[in-house]
Amino acid sequence: MGRKRHGARVLLAVAALVLFEVGGAAGVASAGSRTQAGGSVSAVADVSTHQFTVSIGGQVVRVMPASMGKPGHETPLGTFHVMEKFRDMVMDSSTYGVPVDAPEGYRLYVEYAVRLTSGGIFVHGAPWSVDSQGYENVSHGCINLSTENAAWFFENVEVGDPVTVVG
């Protein structure tokens, strides 16, 4: 918050997505809104070292332990741009065809959710996986951070900022 952005101004068209939200949708860019993209904040999620590194202006400012997708639910590799942000929301496996009561099903309240893909990959707070963060990948594909680290990332990243996932 309060930092200057030096990226080009772009028009973002965000497709409507069906999400179960808790509270308001603060921070969500709606179709036709203007924001600055391509600015100075970027992040790298390293699947093999279990680290999430944030740089501002090309300088590393924070390295955080993380957990990414477990075998069978690998976090996709590549560069993604922040699509939208939710202060809190409910994630539900039935939205992609896995019943909540199935062995791999879930319905979880999460905080500080930052969407990277239309397919449901987010960076978010995951207090249940803190013991694995920095050591092993246990998620269903999302990038799990502690609540404190997810809050920090949420407050510093903007729609359009790049997040690169490497192996």
> Known catalytic residues?
124, 142
What lies within 8 Å, CB to CB, of 45 at 6+ separation is 51, 52, 66, 68, 75, 123, 143, 163, 164, 165, 166
Find, among 143, 10, 164, 167, the residue nearest to 81 by Cα: 164
Which tokens go with 63? 């390295």
Residues in Cβ contact with 101 at an 8 Å cutoff, skipping those fewer than 6 apart: none
Q: Which of 66, 78, 84, 88 is nearest to 142 (CA)?
A: 66
- Both tokens of 68, joined, read 């990414």
Tokens 């990277």, residue? 116
